[in-house]
Amino acid sequence: MFENVLGKKKYIPLTPSSKADPSALSGNQKTCPVCIRLKSGQQSFAAERVCPACKYHFPMSAWERIDHLTDPQSFEELDKDLVSINILDFPGYDEKLKAAAKNSGLKEAIICGKAMIGGYQTILAVMDSSFMMGSMGSVVGEKVCRAAEKAMELRIPLIIITASGGARMQEGMISLMQMAKTSAVLKKFHQSGLLYISILTNPTTGGVSASFASLADIIIAEPGALVGFTGPRVIAQTMGQKLPAGFQCSEFLLEHGQADLIAERSELKHILQCILKLYQGGSHA
Amino acid sequence: MLKKYFDYENNYEKLQDKIKELKKLSEQLDYNLDGEIEKLERQMENIRHSKYRNLSPWEKVLLSRHPERPVVREYIDFLLDDFIEFHGDRLYGDDKAVIAGVGSFEGHALTVLAHQKGKGTNEKIAHHFGMPHPEGYRKVERLLLQSEKFKRPVLNLIDTPGAFPGVGAEERGQASSIARVLMTLSDLKVPVISIVTGEGGSGGALALGVCDRLFMLANSVFSVISAEACASIIFKETEKTQEMAAALKLTAQDLFELGIADGIIPEPVGGAHLDFDATALNIAECIRKNLQELTTVDMNRLLTERYNKIRSIGQYTESISNF
Ligand SMILES: [Zn+2]
């Protein structure tokens, strides 16, 4: 058990090209881009979306993650009717929102709720990059804040699973200010003595990485996830810099002291359970 | 003749030269041309004023990045006596893109944290074009906490295209260094005033923008993303840049209307670079007035109001009927 918690497990290194481009991965993808083998028939692949041969972590929808992590029938969704509006009359935003809702089956890029994980009460917020790249506008910012406030009210820990390309440009500065808003609420959250765990998945960049994703007591990353502030393409283009192998993937993050541990999907629930137990339910104050 | 940034600046200069010529001619010929000269001068002023009143959002973006636009170091030297710059984050290095220090504003000690773009190629390169690395944000955080310890108000001056996009910056935790400053400022127990003097680019600028009162110079901009990048992401073409500059609502006037900026600091006709002293005096007046108000507010009330302002930003609907 502790071997897992301390992150001593061996991971098969992934080729940078397979991780660097999250947009190339669709939810229905069945061929592993790393070993190019069809594995859809296998049990572990279907349930956890991990290639059994190379441990490649496929994108997972928010609802798949909720099913995967929470105790059966324990999830109660909160603030589910919050939807975005085109505040700035930004050209094409209404259509983009409609298309995103239709394609993802979601109302926004985050689902929040009260859930049991291994018998512990938590507030769980899960982002979904299939809704406008998981970008943060007013609704994502507001739902993160409300999730933290609900956790403070109930005095239970907060767990946020991030997947986001950053602030949503169609809401202009109002999007950018969501970084300040979520950070301000998390300041109160930490002052209240509660536990906040963030789980970084592919991709977590821009405004989300530079706000609530980075402000947790414990930061866990999924193997091979792209995590950083400025995206790799922008860095390569603007600086004319050749990027080192494995740049901005979870293993890079761990190596540079930016994450506490890397957890494979198959062991994530167990690790969360261990942490919640060690932190006495995460409401020690 | 110096190549000007805008066409209208060139036209303006041509008119100015013509007037000079006429004046010379009138002296040489000993012939009174005062009436003609006056007419031309009036015409010139009209062009200036009408053009200046009708700048498009994109022209304001260009003005905010004007190569002659004053940089924060000039404002610091003008506004503060005995300014002492402090260096380093005590962890890795000193970031030249961020000026941090303490100085006296009309007899009151202030901590000043500012993005320094630099002027001229060499200076710009030395200051990384005002784009901070994590060590810059950590220097900011260090001096914020020191301000709190010594109960010293904070003045943030914002002028950056954004946080530095580079391998080293990512290795040293760009994201978390920005996030930590945002969190620290949200609850810092001293008054904080932020002023956008030029370009406010994305999260790298916002790190100095969490405050009790946010002001913007009349030709400054503050945006979630540059208009150029926005156009290339949405339309895959940069021709839409001007359109995106308008759509992003990034001007001081837009952001005042949206309630994000608390006030606009006027600039002289044509922009800050044409009259530095006038601009700096307007900034001084803004700081004086707001510092006076904020320092008399009870600390709990100050923090509650700061929090409530940040917490309330965002618009959405919460009805089930939408879907
Ligand atoms: Zn594989």
User: pLDDT for B192-248, tens place per residue?
Assistant: 999 999 999 999 999 999 999 999 999 999 999 999 999 988 887 778 999 999 999
Mean pLDDT for the stretch of residues B35-61: 86
* One domain for residues B66 and B174: yes
Distance of CA A184 to the CA centre of its chain: 20
Task: Please give the Cα distance from A148 to A108 (Å, whole number).
Answer: 18
| B29 and B106 assigned to the same domain | no
The pLDDT value given to residue B304? 98
Residue % of chain A over a pLDDT of 90: 73
- Clarify whether residues B122 and B38 are in a common domain: no
B170: three-class secondary structure by DSSP = helix
B318 vs A contacts (CB less than 8 Å) = 79, 81-83
Question: What is the fold, at CATH topology level, of the domain defined by A60-279?
Answer: 2-enoyl-CoA Hydratase; Chain A, domain 1 (3.90.226)
Cis before A91 (ω within 30): no
Q: Which long-range contacts (CB under 8 A, 24 or more apart) does B101-106 make?
A: B101/B76, B101/B143, B102/B152, B103/B76, B103/B79, B104/B80, B105/B79, B105/B80, B105/B81, B105/B155, B105/B284, B105/B287, B105/B288, B105/B291, B106/B284, B106/B288
Whether residue B175 sits in one domain with residue B137: yes
Q: Is residue B2 part of a domain?
A: no
SS3 B99: strand
> Per-residue pLDDT for B321 more than 60?
no
Contacts of B163 in chain A (CB under 8 A): 210, 229-230
Name B105's Cβ contacts closer than 8 Å, sequence gap at least 6. B79, B80, B81, B155, B284, B287, B288, B291
Instruction: Identify whether residues B87 and B29 lie together within a single domain.
Output: no
C-alpha A44 to ligand 1 mean position (Å): 12
Q: Is A245 on the interface with B (CB under 8 A)?
A: no
Sheet harboring A120-127: ordered strands across?
A76-78, A110-117, A120-127, A158-164, A196-204, A218-221, A261-262
Quote helix, strand, coil % in chain A, to nearest 5. Answer: 40, 20, 40
ipTM score here? Answer: 0.92
Domain match, B34 and B80 both: no
Lowest mean pLDDT among A137-151, A171-185, A239-253, B276-290: A239-253
Q: Are residues B186 and B47 in the same domain?
A: no
Best CA proximity match to A162, nearest among A116, A105, A219: A219
Is-above-0.95 flag for pTM? no
Q: Are residues B246 and B118 in the same domain?
A: yes
The answer to whether the CB of B229 falls within 8 A of the CB of B190 is no
Domain total for chain B?
2
Residue in A83, A142, A229 closest to B170 by CB: A229
- Residues B31 and B74 both lie in one domain: no
Yes or no, beta carbons of A210 and B203 under 8 Å apart: yes
Would B162 be classed as within a structural domain?
yes
pLDDT band at A43 (very low <50, low <70, confident <90, very high): low
Q: How far apart (Å, rounded) are the C-alpha atoms in residues B221 and B200? A: 6
Residue B304 lies in a domain: yes
**Domain presence at residue B320:** no
Residues B49 and B146 in one domain: no
Domain assignment of residue B23, given as a range:
7-54
Residues sharing a CB contact under 8 Å with residue B6, sequence separation 6 or more, in sequence order: B59, B62, B63
Which pLDDT band, with edges at 50, 70 and 90, does A39 fall under?
low
Is the pLDDT confidence value at B322 over 80?
A: no
Rounded to the nearest angstrom, the distance between the alpha carbon of A54 and the centre of ligand 1 is 4
**Using CA atoms, how far apart are residues A169 and A135, in angstroms rounded to an integer?**
8
- Residue A148: CA atoms inside 13 Å, Cβ hemisphere, count? 29
Is any Cβ of chain B less than 8 angstroms from the Cβ of A81?
yes
Give chain B positions within 8 Å (CB) of A180: 182, 186, 206, 209-210, 310, 313
What's the CA-to-centroid distance between A219 and ligand 1, angstroms?
26
In a domain, B266, yes or no: yes
Same structural domain, B198 and B116: yes
Asked if A228 is an interface residue toward chain B (Cβ–Cβ < 8 A), one would say yes
Question: Cα of A51 to ligand 1 centre, how many Å?
Answer: 5
- Nearest-angstrom CA–CA distance, A250 and A224: 5
- Give the Cβ contact number of residue B304 at 10 Å: 11
B110 with B196, same domain: the answer is: yes
C-beta of residue A62 within 8 angstroms of C-beta of residue B299:
no
Q: What is the CATH number of the domain that holds B289?
A: 3.90.226.10
